Structure 1
């Protein structure tokens, strides 16, 4: 089911039902909680994506060869 298929009348009905369930006094608290939840979700997804990018950017340093070790000893 596509969310765009709900349309404006469907959204109005959903908002009226939410208003009836929570009441006008609790509605700002519910909105605030939903907003904080979305912000935390966005932050977590950015952190996950950032971790993947950091793994891709890691550089590999070449290992010392035996010849380089012999030069360091002499």
Structure 2
């Protein structure tokens, strides 16, 4: 899941994926509310994972975002 999330984030913030780690913060990546909204749309389309924008807004690092996405994917699979 990390590689998928990192790819989407990298596309949105226009940075090489290899520069994004699980410890990268939203502030460091300049992920603002508009970028977070874009992430939720792209993640649903590309990864098939639906996450609440408020939940995404509540995390602060890419690692936390991966955990959130993994949990959402697992919940959808049930």
Is the pair's TM-score, using the shorter chain for normalization, greater than 0.5?
A: no
| Greater fraction of residues in helix | 1
Whose relative contact order is higher, 1 or 2, with alpha carbons under 8 Å and at least 6 apart? 2
Larger radius of gyration: 1
TM-score normalised according to structure 1 size: 0.30
